[in-house]
Amino acid sequence: MDTPKTDWSQETAAARAWFESLRDRICAEFEAIEREAGSDARFTYTPWDRQHDGEPVENGGGGVQGLMKGRVFEKVGVNVSTVGGAFSKEFAGSINGASAENPGFTATGISLVAHMANPHVPAVHMNTRFLTTQKAWFGGGGDLNPPMPYAEDTAEFHAAYKAACDAHNPEYYPRFKAWADEYFYIPHRKVHRGVGGIFYDHLECADEAGFAANFAFTRDVGEAFLSVFPKLVRRRMGLAFTDADKLQQLQWRGRYAEFNLVYDRGTLFGLKTGGNIDAILMSLPPEAVWS
């Protein structure tokens, strides 16, 4: 019987490098859109180190929070982090491959949330990540969150992710679309957060070949986002909107905030592992109403 692979440091480094390169290309594209709108807004980048009880964790890693507030992107965060250490005994049992006896982990990933100034432009979320415990796996996905949905935009967004999925496994898209529909749901409101997308987790890597296959898929998920979302922004960012449209957007943002604070796994993971609070909560909208 083959010995299970336990050292994933090279793979983690490779995933981190790609997440950072994707971050750079996304941010450059978003800044280009701001230039097209006559804005000089640019991302600011703030590094952070993982902490526990207010103190830095030795060899705990950290990340960089990228944030831009502009004319088109009212608030957009693009964060990359690479952290490691040990989960708390209480939290370890909820993580794939971790336990109170073996709570060690590493995690690297990119996370993006964009809230748009124009309510005709859809907000969006995307993330991809690679984690190791006693197991190693990829997760991620993306979902479109329009306050004012357009069927054309929804179809194009889903088509981009379907093409990425179909290139690797014809079962991926229906499976991961259904997972997104189930996950991005607000039970106490009995509504979905948006018009969906894909969501996947625990795409496990037993060896180098498994890593290569799952990493290739995860890269295509990131490329799909970069190929489709800027098109949707450019299509809608110049449309006129009314005060009623803006109110609809602000009310929808309230629902988005409720999901992220109550149900989102990524928010909980960041808070439980000593992540940067500002980076974790960058997903929250800059303005929202409840009425």
Question: Which residues have a catalytic role annotated?
Answer: 125
Contact 127, 201 (CB under 8 A): no
64 closest CA partner among 279, 283, 229: 279
Q: H or E element: which one contains 176?
A: helix 172-183
Provide the CA 32 distance to its chain's centre, in angstroms.
21
Quote the radius of gyration of the chain (alpha carbons, Å): 19
Residue 48: phi, psi to the nearest 5? -145, 155
26 closest CA partner among 62, 80, 63, 70: 80
Report d(CA 109, CA 127) in Å as an integer: 7
Those residues with Cβ within 8 angstroms of residue 5's Cβ, 6 or more apart along the chain or in another chain: 136, 206, 207, 208
Residue 234 tokens, joined: 């450019």
Query: E-strand spans in 69-195?
Result: 73-86, 104-116, 123-132, 136-145, 185-186, 191-192
CA atoms within 13 A of residue 51's CA, in its CB half-sphere: 9
